[in-house]
Structure 1
Amino acid sequence: MKNKKTFIFIVLALALTSVLVFVFLKRTTTPRYQYAYIDVQQLVQAYNQTEEFQELYQKINEEFNSFNHALQEEAD
């Protein structure tokens, strides 16, 4: 009976060790990064939106500076 328990314990220990080694090796051999697909259409659309926002920002900044200049002239 004692030999049977020892044998089962050894088999379970070997199985657990095998699983742990397999998981460790699997984890170390897989890359930690993923390749991503870049959608060119979406990239171009985002660039165009950025360009539009930059133009809008410049226009608003010019209007603000013009308004500020008018206020300063009025104050003088």
Structure 2
Amino acid sequence: MVQIGYINYLVIIFIVTGIFILRYDAGTYKVAKMKKEYRVARITGWVNIVMGIFIYGANWAYETFFW
């Protein structure tokens, strides 16, 4: 059964914002030699990407096994 909801948008937002943070924020901090901000931006970017992948997998598992 196909379910219409907001989970797919949430996954896309997490992954895209993670990529943008890694690409632009971390790059800007690296050029400016701001070590702490660079490290936090990288961690935040990767956490966003991992959360997007995790939510996608959890949603797939829920729809496959429990729905």
Task: Report which of the two structures shows the higher radius of gyration computed on alpha carbons.
Answer: 1
* Alignment TM-score, normalising by the size of structure 1: 0.42
TM-score normalized by the length of structure 2:
0.47
